Structure 1
Amino acid sequence: MQSTSLHYEWPAILHDPSGRRQSKPRSKGRTMVLDKGIGLHAFEDLLTTAGEYIDILKFGFGTSPLYPLPVIRSKIDLAVKNGITVIPGGTLLETAVRLDVVPGFLRQILALGFTGIEVSDGTINLDRGLRNDLIRDAKGLGLQVYTEYGKKLFGSRINVDDFAATAEQDLACGAEMVTVEGRESGIGVGLFDERGDCRSDDLSHILNAVPNLDRILWEAPLKEQQVALIKSLGPDVHLGNVAPHDVVTLESMRRGLRSDTFELQQVPFNDYMI
């Protein structure tokens, strides 16, 4: 008996009803995923399922030295092969600054195959001169630099004028993007209040004060925060601290494939529902 196989495809419009999503390497609508220690097999599954939708992967906080070297090398290699920029958490660099081992930190970053770093001062204080040096030194080594603005202390708010000035100087020194601190919780810090709701007045002030919004990445780990920023800035907003299990969900919202952002669909409404 002759076997037959049928090849089915989704109608093209169903992949992206918004008609706006870029393929990688993207300059718009980048997604940064926070890896807090998932295993190698789960990591492989993540990239198999959602690698096309991940632009930046951050090994959270100071976790990078805690991995067995073969494991972290394998994760970095897999991510790079999937066109993903891989960076350690900013807390690790802050620790290296505090302990005066930045040259050793940078050597190991390069040896492991990381393709970028995060320069932050969420826990320590970095003077402007040192911040400039860190950005320029890492850039000179061929690393992409993602800086971060904001403190991790609960209740910390954004000083809009200071943020605008910091972002301008970071970008002038060679930073790829500037991240707005939101922590992994998204609660009581930066743009978000103690319930995790977006402070709309603060967001409006930032949008009016910061000229390079296309190079700002917003840490927004919670779904409602992601929805609020997509609705305010559009599906091309850069979003970070996304949990691995939320990557496909976020991509569906960017494309208008979830009811929360259904209005993003760039197709005429029919007179009837199917």
Structure 2
Amino acid sequence: MKSFEFLSIDRQEKPRTSGLTMVLDKGLGLETADSLMKISGDYVDYLKFGWGTSIVHEQDIIKAKVEMYKSHKITPYTGGTLFELAYMKGKLEEFFQEAHELGFPAIEISDGSTNIPTENKLNCIEKAKDDGFEVLSEVGKKNPQLDKELSLDERIEQMENELNAGSSLIIVEAREGGKNIGIFDKSGNPKEDEIDYILEKIDNKKILWEAPNKDQQVFFILKLGNTVNLGNISSDDITSLETLRRGLRGDTLGKI
């Protein structure tokens, strides 16, 4: 039983269908990650092994972390950059095989750092799903200049196509900094008119909004409620975000 639980707003228990939190693992040690999940694992739904970090750590450590996360009913998955590297090198089959061997139930498919033809990206989503993975796909470019070349209608078309190809969630690119990219301006402020336009076309439950900064998390919670799906959350901010969702912090107190 949680302390002072009678003062808290109820949240849907896992496995949740909304109010999802995706946390970014940038290379946590097994013991550190395990300790963190023992206190905060109830509030994490997806755990991304960031970009290509899995390559520089031993397989037995990655496998142990994957199993530990799954024991907390968390879906761990490989970062999109790792997929892009496998695609560039023509090693997708090997990539899928090793992801299975390491125990990953899901993978991210993106083209944020590379140029992958639309048809090829959609085929990769279909292949990954057929191979038994849950697929989360990301829309947007990591280079701010290239990202600005994508019109809002083009982003929405990509989202629709990728959902139809089998993605369970569409990740809206914001990187770990959350500034000058996608739906955020140079100061990290949300572009509310663009967000509203996206929501006219795409089911909010199918979107995972990358919102690495507290002010961005507050914005989405106040705008869309505490059941909004948020991603690229720092491992240091898991409890902080959950208190925002439950109205236990000044920013959302009495507003949820």
TM-score per shorter chain, which class? over 0.9
In the alignment, which residue of structure 2 is the partner of 1:194?
Answer: 186
Q: TM-score, length-normalised on structure 1?
A: 0.89
Cα offset, 1:11, TM superposition: 4.7
Counterpart of 1:211, as a letter, is: I
In the alignment, which residue of structure 1 is the partner of 2:64?
Answer: 74
Is structure 2 residue 7 aligned with structure 1 residue 14? yes
Is structure 2 residue 239 aligned with structure 1 residue 248? yes
Which residues in structure 2 correspond to 1:32-47 (within 5 Å)? 32-47=22-37
Among candidates 74, 80, 104, match of residue 84 of structure 1: 74
CA distance change for structure 1 residues 22 and 264 in 2, over 3 Å: closer, same or farther? farther
In 1, Cα distance between the equivalents of 2:167 and 2:105? Answer: 13
CA distance change for structure 1 residues 10 and 50 in 2, over 3 Å: closer, same or farther? closer
In 1, Cα distance between the equivalents of 2:2 and 2:254? Answer: 25
- Residues matched between the structures, number: 254
Of all paired residues, the percent bearing the same amino acid is 39
In 1, Cα distance between the equivalents of 2:249 and 2:172? Answer: 26
Which residues in structure 2 correspond to 1:88-107 (within 5 Å)? 88-107=78-97
Alignment RMSD, CA only? 1.5
CA distance change for structure 1 residues 152 and 9 in 2, over 3 Å: closer, same or farther? closer
Cα offset, 1:9, TM superposition: 6.4
Q: Is the 8 A contact 1:255 1:264 kept in 2?
A: no
In 2, Cα distance between the equivalents of 1:47 and 1:247? Answer: 10
In the alignment, which residue of structure 2 is the partner of 1:51?
Answer: 41
Among candidates 203, 222, 229, match of residue 195 of structure 2: 203
Among candidates 143, 154, 178, match of residue 144 of structure 2: 154
Counterpart of 2:33, as a letter, is: F
Counterpart of 1:57, as a letter, is: L
In the alignment, which residue of structure 1 is the partner of 2:164?
Answer: 172
Cα offset, 1:13, TM superposition: 3.0
Greater Rg over alpha carbons, structure: 1
In the alignment, which residue of structure 2 is the partner of 1:25?
Answer: 15
* CA deviation string 1:77-113 (max 9, x = no partner): 1001111111111001001111111111111000000
In 1, Cα distance between the equivalents of 2:63 and 2:111? Answer: 26
* Runs (5+) with no aligned partner, structure 1: 1-7, 266-274
* Runs (5+) with no aligned partner, structure 2: none
